[in-house]
Chain A
Amino acid sequence: MDKVSDRTTRRGARRGAHRASRQGLRRAFDRAFRRPAHRPEGQVPRRPEPSPRLSRTAVRRERKVRLGPLSHLSHAALVIWTILVVVPLAWTFLASFKSEDEIFSGAWTMPAAPRFDNWARAWDQAHVGQYFLNSVIVVAFSTFGTMLLGSMAAYVLARYRFRGNRAIYLLFVSGLAFPVYLALTPLFFVVQNIGNIPVIGPFLGLNTHGGLILVYIAYSLPFTVFFLAAFFRTLPTAVAEAAFVDGASHTRVFFQIMLPMARPGIVSVTIFNVLGQWNQYQLPLVLLSGEARDKWVLTQGIASISTSAGYDADWSALFAALSMAILPMLIIYSVFQRQIQAGLTAGAVK
């Protein structure tokens, strides 16, 4: 069972590395030879292929004839889902510029004048600015720590034979199977007890960013080690051996040769971890209590505005806060969407 999964993992990673070039080649090949040659006899189009000089409308008309009604139905389904995805987000954005009265008098009315002060109130009075900064700090450190420690462990486990190797690897990978809730209660007390250790305690206990960062790192290790170990195994050994012959140390080979070679895998897992840790809700909820509001992360802060909101809630500021959480993700996603899609799905294709 393990052997099999190992093999598929390796194949998957290798396939990923070569996919781009292979697909490009295949496409070029298809364009050059295969398509015309393989066209089934009966389906030779009556019309000649549209030459590039034909107008766009002519091409479109030709397409319509070919595709028939099915294409319209499929487009309709796709458009409907697009609307389902976009409309709630756009509606939130719209509401963030409305006054409270405008929000409650009609869900879909336009604001008389855009209320930019909603955004200012959310940022200052609802502390979204503070939460945002906290999230950035925590995720920056925890992702860096996860990648450093995870790649070190993965590399050693993937490329060195020693007693206990298999056991340590399995220990890490078994973490993938456990649901977090099982650990929640004891984890709370573990972190609390660490907080009682002299000197380092105040930085790593409950209600500290340090404690949260270490917990994030620990809970990200199983996937990181699992994925990167598979990746390191696929890398060729020749380069590292040449470096050893030249007298490079193990540490140096890792940082200057193997790590750069593993770049595609590192990028995927980094994206996976950044998003996973940025979006984490349950761990901060347990580890950063209500007494430490100034330490809260973004998800926790915004959820709290909404769950604790009574009649005096500032609803316009809530919409502005939501938009503030969504907008940066939208921008980052539109710039890096290819890498993000690859990074997130890489985990499932393993």
Chain B
Amino acid sequence: MTHGRTRFIAGFLVIPVLLYLVYVISPYAQAFYIAMTNWRGVNANPEFVGLENFRRLLDDSVFWTAVGHNLLLLILLPLGTISIALFFAYLLNAGGGRRGVDGVRGSGFYRVVFFFPQVLAVAIIAVLFQQVFRPDRGGMLNGPLTALGLEPIGFLSDPRIALWSVLGVLIWQAVGFYVVLFSAGMASIPQELYEAAQIDGAGRVPMFFRVTLPLLWDTVQVGWIYLGIAALDAFAVVWVMTAEQGGPDHSTTVIAAEIYRNAFDYFKFGYASAMGVVLFFFTIAFAALAMRLSRRERIEF
């Protein structure tokens, strides 16, 4: 029996662990080493250069522009998405009904529609919005504007606006998911709590801030971390949708796009890996910080 047991355990684990080590763990481990080499081109012999790549990163203005954009997205994407999603989730769950604790009519329908963008590939959405934002008469938004005789807006061609377009698309896709997520959380809040608050004379708005939000805090925290990680990524939208893949004039570029550009367009593998290492520490730091800042006493109900 024990013999069979050991064989069984080993037999079940060997393939998944092997695949995982080869394709996931070994690349991650190598990345840290490659980041300290001057590897360029496919066939060159890389030399160990220590922290040279990181020192060069300090002077790389494009990289720091990208970092700045990621940080901006890191703040605005969760803030925008979570505010909008909480607002809608609250309306859907407590916006209607006599006592302000039922959902509005048709809440099921809204949930279904809002969630749909989540099912689509980010790359597809990026192509779609590239057309929506077209500067000419064929653009979904600029077509009517030019027809009215107004100046077309350079959603993707104006460096001051382009990043906001990226943010808009990211929020557009994300909101539905968090509406559903927060709705599920709100549905598990006992009705009696709302009723008690109501007897105490609380309106819908105080009820949201005093009852719903504190009880939903765990879910909001999870959402915050997910969106933060998405903001540190943002590769597909930037790479596919924006002009010059991160432009115009680097006005929308993000770290992930610079990593890809340096590795697979310029073949600077060492340098790109150094960027990856920096991004890795950003991600870890963000997750740790988010956990710490949002830690509150857990409310059991």
Chain B minimum-CB-distance residue to A323: B128
Mark the stretch among B49-57, B158-166, B280-288 that contacts chain A. B280-288
Answer whether residue B82 sits at the interface, using C-beta atoms and an 8 A cutoff.
no
CA distance A81 to B83 in the complex (A): 14
B131:A302 contact, CB within 8 angstroms? no
A155:B12 contact, CB within 8 angstroms? yes
A183:B113 contact, CB within 8 angstroms? no
Tier of interface size on chain B: 35 or more
Mark the stretch among A112-120, A174-182, A261-269 that contacts chain B. A174-182
Most buried by B among A30, A172, A254: A172
Considering only residues 249-289 of chain A, those with a C-beta below 8 Å from chain B are 249-251, 254, 275, 278-282, 285-286
The list of the 4 closest CB pairs from A to B, nearest first, reads A107-B143, A218-B23, A279-B121, A186-B27
A108:B28 contact, CB within 8 angstroms? no
Answer whether residue A138 sits at the interface, using C-beta atoms and an 8 A cutoff.
no
Considering only residues 78-105 of chain B, those with a C-beta below 8 Å from chain A are 84, 87-88, 91-92, 95-96, 98-99, 104
Considering only residues 174-198 of chain B, those with a C-beta below 8 Å from chain A are 175-177, 180-181, 184-185, 187-188, 191, 195, 198
Given A70-B204, A186-B34, A250-B8, does the pair A345, B177 have CB atoms closer than 8 Å?
yes
CA distance A302 to B233 in the complex (A): 21
Given A156-B12, A190-B26, A319-B131, does the pair A78, B17 have CB atoms closer than 8 Å?
no
B30:A344 contact, CB within 8 angstroms? no
Q: From residue B183, how far is it (CB to closest CB) to chain A in Å?
A: 9
Residues of B within 8 A of A75 (CB): 104
Considering only residues 190-242 of chain B, those with a C-beta below 8 Å from chain A are 191, 195, 198-199, 204, 219, 222-223, 226, 229, 232-233, 235-236, 239-240
Tier of interface size on chain A: 35 or more
Residues of B within 8 A of A155 (CB): 12
A-B contact pairs, 29 of them (CB 8 A): A74-B91, A74-B95, A74-B104, A77-B91, A82-B114, A106-B137, A107-B142, A175-B24, A177-B284, A178-B28, A181-B256, A181-B276, A182-B31, A183-B276, A186-B26, A186-B31, A186-B273, A190-B30, A217-B19, A251-B8, A279-B124, A281-B240, A303-B126, A305-B127, A306-B240, A325-B120, A340-B115, A345-B184, A348-B181
B13:A185 contact, CB within 8 angstroms? no
B131:A307 contact, CB within 8 angstroms? no
Which B positions have Cβ atoms within 8 angstroms of A? 4-6, 8-9, 11-13, 15-17, 19-20, 22-28, 30-31, 34, 84, 87-88, 91-92, 95-96, 98-99, 104, 106, 110-124, 126-132, 134, 136-144, 147, 172, 175-177, 180-181, 184-185, 187-188, 191, 195, 198-199, 204, 219, 222-223, 226, 229, 232-233, 235-236, 239-240, 245, 255-256, 259-260, 263-264, 269, 272-273, 275-277, 279-280, 283-284, 287
CA distance A348 to B230 in the complex (A): 13
CA distance A307 to B131 in the complex (A): 12
Q: From residue B271, how far is it (CB to closest CB) to chain A in Å?
A: 10
